[in-house]
Structure 1
Amino acid sequence: MSYDGSPMTEAMYYVLLALIQPNHGYQLMNEIEDVSKGRVKMGPGTLYGVLTRLQKDNLIIVVNDDGRRKTYSITEHGMLALKKEYKRLASMVDDGAILRGGIYE
């Protein structure tokens, strides 16, 4: 299976952002909280479900497995998907510019 380019969930997006530097599960939960400035707190159930899906979609790989914990890293395909999603989200924010300084505030 491979990622089809559909919009990512918030969890997928933040896991990929956090995996720009290889990380293991517990570190990832902290990194996601840091990169989202505390807005996203991801529990182990959600995290490991997302990690499994991202692996199946070839967006991340396991770079080390010592039997106790796995270290994950984003793949080249994952980085391209992350950049595409970032552009999609940025376009949505740009489209919402109509809300700035107008009658909608």
Structure 2
Amino acid sequence: MPPPEMREPTFLLLTALAGGPQHGYALLTEIERLSNGRVRLKPGSLYGILDRLAEEGLIARHSEEVVDGRLRRSYALTPAGVQGLRVETERLRANVAAATRRLRTLARPQEATP
């Protein structure tokens, strides 16, 4: 049975981490950038997603450091996260290909019927 499809924020978060380990604030800004401003997560939502993905084994803590008196954690994709992102990318690619084929048929002039 194939894995369940990902929600867009999860897909964007994994996509952001495919560029390398990042901390929370960097992820917030990268997700917004990747979505052209459509997806703007609040910190509470982001950390909920990070916790869930860590529990699922798709990401892991990469490092922790104290910056300006606050703990900053960075996260990285695990091999399972890379595979999950690949699977979801292929699922989306297949959907786009199907839609593109259908749209091409709409663009063709309809043959006149006698």
Q: Matched residues in 1 for 2:104 and 2:42: separation?
A: 34
Q: CA offsets per residue over residues 52-95 of structure 1, 9 Å max, x none?
A: 11000100000112251110001111001101100001111111
- CA–CA distance in 1 between the matches of 2:86 and 2:41? 22
> Which structure has greater strand proportion?
2
TM-score, length basis structure 2 = 0.80
SS in structure 2 opposite 1:40? coil
Letter of the 2:103 counterpart: L
Q: Do residues 41 (structure 1) and 45 (structure 2) align?
A: no
- Computed over aligned residues only, the root mean square deviation of the Cα atoms, in angstroms, reads 1.6
Deviation of 1:23 after TM superposition, in Å, equals: 0.4
The superposition leaves residues 26-64 of structure 1 with CA deviations (integer Å, 9 ceiling, x where unpaired) of 110001111222222111121111101100010000011
Percent identity for Structure 1 against Structure 2:
38
Higher relative contact order (CA 8 A, sep 6+): 1
Aligned AA (1:17): T
Counterpart CA distance in 1 for 2:105 and 2:37 is 28
> Unpaired runs of 5+ in structure 2?
108-114
Amino acid of the residue matched to residue 97 of structure 2? D
Q: What CA distance in whole angstroms lies between the structure 2 residues aligned with 1:89 and 1:79?
A: 15
Structure-1 separation of matches of 2:65 and 2:17: 18
Give the Cα–Cα distance (whole angstroms) in 1 for the partners of residues 36 and 104 of structure 2: 23
2:103 paired with 1:99: yes
2:3 to 2, 5, 30: 5
1:70 paired to 2:69:
no
Question: Which aligned segments of 4 or more residues in structure 1 are displaced greater than 6 angstroms?
Answer: none
**Unaligned stretches of 5+ in structure 1?**
none
